[in-house]
Amino acid sequence: MDNSIALVTGANTGIGKEIARQLAAAGLTVYAASRDAGRGERAVAEIGGGTKPLMLDVTDAASIAAAANQVPALDILVNNAGISLDDKTPDKETVESFRWVYETNVFGVVGVTNAFLPALRQSAHPRIVNISSSTGSLTLAGGRAAGGFAAYRSSKAALNALTIFYSHALAADGFKVNALAPGLRRTGLNPVAAASGGDPAEAAAGAVYLALLPDDGPTGQFLSWDGTQVPW
């Protein structure tokens, strides 16, 4: 994998930063994408290796296009950038809040993925990894007593659907497209995550596994960080 190139969105902190770190440690050239140039450069300085900063705001079409112009060839895309709001049920959430979350977690993934498809199509082993959440599982949601974090959870359910659709659309071109449930990790996603003791590096290892899948590996799957399947 020494000659492979990866791009990780939201790579200046949390799980994204750990994914970039582990991919770089595996010998890849890694574009650590961040919407804040300063934070991105600091993350790259900390990670070292073959990492490069890339300014990329997944909610801004011009930013996406500019970033895509800087990456002519790509083997791996990790759609990690994501946001969450407070623990509100849908009846207490606003339409504006849903739009804000979906702009990053859903529309941003479509925008970034489509913009980088020309670069990915040049790869002999193109891989796309979407960082989802087990809270986006409709099967598991049926057994939950509350519907909190409705905007976030429903956005991840939409992301899971996109994972399936992209896996079908790109299968003939050799793509492997999968979604990862990283588990609750100690990140700045929301207060619940911030209070968690879960190590982001553990979740990142699951993403790296999917990023480096062999050609006979799975596609269109929803996997937990430990490799087990998560029901859609």
Active-site annotation, residues: 152, 156
Whole-angstrom distance, CA of residue 28 vs CA of residue 20: 9
Closest CA to 223 of 194, 183, 185, 189: 183
Contact 201, 215 (CB under 8 A): no
Please choose, from the candidates 209, 74, 35, 182, the residue with its C-alpha nearest in 3D space to the C-alpha of residue 11.
35
Q: Using CA atoms, how far apart are residues 221 and 80, in angstroms rounded to an integer? A: 16
The edge-to-edge listing of strands for the beta sheet with 176-181 is: 51-55, 29-34, 5-8, 76-79, 127-131, 176-181, 222-224
Task: Say how far apart CA 53 and CA 55 lie, in whole Å.
Answer: 7
- Burial of residue 66 (CB within 10 Å: 0-12, 13-18, 19+) is middle
C-beta of residue 163 within 8 angstroms of C-beta of residue 130: yes
Give the ranges where 105-224 is alpha helix by DSSP (H): 108-120, 138-141, 150-170, 191-194, 200-211
